[in-house]
Amino acid sequence: MYAFDIERPSTIADAVTALQGEDAQALGGGQTLIPTLKQRLAAPSKLVSLSGIGEMQGVCVGDDGAVCIGGATTHATVSREAAAHYPGLAALASHIGDPAVRNRGTIGGSLANNDPAACYPAAALASGATIVTNNREIAADDYFQGMFSTALDEGEVITEVRFPVPQAANYQKFLQPASRFALVGVFVAKYADGVRVAVTGASENGVFRWAEAEAALSADFSASTLDGLNMDADGMIADLHGSSAYRAHLVKVNTKRAVDAAS
Amino acid sequence: MASVSMTVNGREVSGDVEGRTLLSSFLRDDLRLTGTHVGCDTSQCGACVVHVNGAAVKACTMFAVEADGAEVATIEGEANADGSLSVIQQAFQDHHGLQCGFCTPGMVMSAAALLKENPTPTEAEIREYLEGNICRCTGYHNIVKAIMAASGQDVAAIAAE
């Protein structure tokens, strides 16, 4: 690693101030960023750790019934504390990485990084979540802008993520067993006004919504209603773990499994 | 350089570290607690698992300054106060839960975290919990058996495949 300064502010305001310096970088749980720094793929002059900010920790339920998760909340905490309010989301959090990763990695870090195979982007997009930052609220539909790309500005911090709770939901992750990321992951969420389906791991443009499946499932929420649909392999990731056609196939298989398992 | 203080295995320690100093480096190089192993340094292998404020974490994927003020437990603190092996360590010995032993500190610390969360895990739960701990001798079978035994459960059901 190249040398850098590190700060541990205890308030959001102090973190935002610290991030205004040139080449400053926010540090969530570091489960992606620290390996990236070790490989010298990033060289910030300063890291601003968000792990000491109490107001960015924890899970609560808002007045509108939405589950609100502090941006610095670890996956392990979400898996425990969101279980009673949004079990599909808690189940997703409980299978990210491995136990030690879940004790450090945070929801804000995952969403800010927007890895094309990460789990949380699928939950946020399928739930129509709101990404709350230090200066605005961003709808999930506007937030994800392609592989490793988001609507966040330089120095902007995800302070909270608000998830409207669906009537039923499920996340199916087809595991890439070495990395424990999703080879393909599909999050299905059924709301009173329709079904949302978000797919991670598959597209060269990162997480996306499968509109045809959403329309079909909104009319008839059953796995068999997807029989006639096919995901186009064009634009799907192809690598040593799977071809684009294979990933396209897995999108449909996992969407059907998610519908069957939704609760 | 930054000054850090933490409690490691019940002992107050402090030191001066760079921002980039990993917790694993602070434990090994500054405190000379070399039981925490660094196997891959890429957060894949889990040989460096320690507990920070009771939670299992990879010490190679956390900065020492982030553990400032924390309670840290390493493999050196796992044995009983009289020096005898802990229940988990004894079970690893009894069931041959190690071959070369390199991954063992991380395996034991992960096992301790699991049994604190879930005192009587199933075989499947043990295997899932160890997803982030790699044994390159591939001795998983006896590791799982040892953890099962440490939880006080019958290991006869785990066949010697």
pLDDT in tens, A17-33: 999 988 999 999 999 99
Q: What is the predicted pLDDT for the residue at B127?
A: 96
Domain boundary among the residues B54, B77, B100 is at B77
Which residues touch A127 (CB under 8 Å, ≥6 apart)?
A89, A140, A163, A164, A166, A169, A187, A189, A196
B61 lies in the same domain as B23: yes
B92 lies in the same domain as B120: yes
Q: Residue B119's domain spans which residues?
A: 87-150
Please report, rounded to a whole number, the percentage of residues in chain A having pLDDT higher than 70: 100
**Domain A1-49 coded CATH 3.30.43.10:** yes
Assess if residue B143 is contained within a domain: yes
Counted domains in chain B: 2
Mean pLDDT of A193-217: 97
B35 lies in the same domain as B95: no
Segments making up each domain of chain A, as ranges: 1-49, 168-261
B73 lies in the same domain as B6: yes
CATH number at residue B122: 1.10.150.120
d(CA A99, CA A78): 13
Q: What is the predicted pLDDT for the residue at B158?
A: 75
Nearest in space to B64 (alpha carbons), one of B130, B129, B13: B13
B118 lies in the same domain as B136: yes
> Whole-angstrom distance between the N-terminal and C-terminal Cα of chain B?
52
Kindly report the CATH number that applies to the domain delimited by A168-261: 3.30.390.50
B96 lies in the same domain as B134: yes
Assess if residue B9 is contained within a domain: yes
Contacts of A6 in chain B (CB under 8 A): 2, 19-20, 63, 65
Compute the count of residue pairs across chains A and B with CB atoms less than 8 Å apart: 73
Q: What's the gap in Å between the CA of B49 and the closest CA on chain A?
A: 7
Assess if residue B95 is contained within a domain: yes
Q: What is the predicted pLDDT for the residue at B161?
A: 52
From chain B residues 23-62, the ones with a CB under 8 A of any chain A CB are 41-43, 46, 49, 52, 55-58, 61-62
Identical fold between A1-49 and A168-261: no
Assess if residue B160 is contained within a domain: no
Q: What's the gap in Å between the CA of A119 and the closest CA on chain B?
A: 17
Q: What is the predicted pLDDT for the residue at B159?
A: 60
d(CA A46, CA A247): 38
Domain boundary among the residues B77, B104, B123 is at B77
Among chain B residues, the shortest Cα distance to A9 is held by B66
Assess if residue B158 is contained within a domain: no
Q: Are A103 and B56 in contact (CB under 8 A)?
A: yes
Q: What is the predicted pLDDT for the residue at A228?
A: 94
d(CA A158, CA A234): 33
Contacts of B41 in chain A (CB under 8 A): 38
Q: What is the predicted pLDDT for the residue at B160?
A: 55
CB contact under 8 A, A3 and B129: no
d(CA B37, CA B48): 5
B63 lies in the same domain as B6: yes
Q: What is the predicted pLDDT for the residue at A121?
A: 98
CATH number at residue B37: 3.10.20.30
Assess if residue B57 is contained within a domain: yes
Q: Are B88 and B119 in contact (CB under 8 A)?
A: no
ipTM over 0.90: yes
Assess if residue B19 is contained within a domain: yes
Q: What is the predicted pLDDT for the residue at A179?
A: 82
Domain boundary among the residues B77, B105, B140 is at B77
Tokens of A138: 């961003």
Return the SS3 of A79.
helix
Q: Is B27 exposed, middle or buried (0-12, 13-18, 19+ CB in 10 A)?
A: buried
pLDDT values of chain B reduced to their tens digit, one per residue, 161 residues: 899 999 999 999 999 999 999 999 999 999 999 999 999 988 999 999 999 999 999 999 999 999 999 999 999 999 999 999 999 999 999 999 999 999 999 999 999 999 999 999 999 999 999 999 999 998 899 999 999 999 999 998 776 55
| Pairing of the two strands A24-27 and A5-7 | unpaired
- Please write the tens of the pLDDT for every residue from A126-182: 999 999 999 999 999 999 999 999 999 999 999 999 999 999 999 999 998 888 899
Assess if residue B69 is contained within a domain: yes
Contacts of B46 in chain A (CB under 8 A): 98, 100
d(CA B32, CA B45): 21
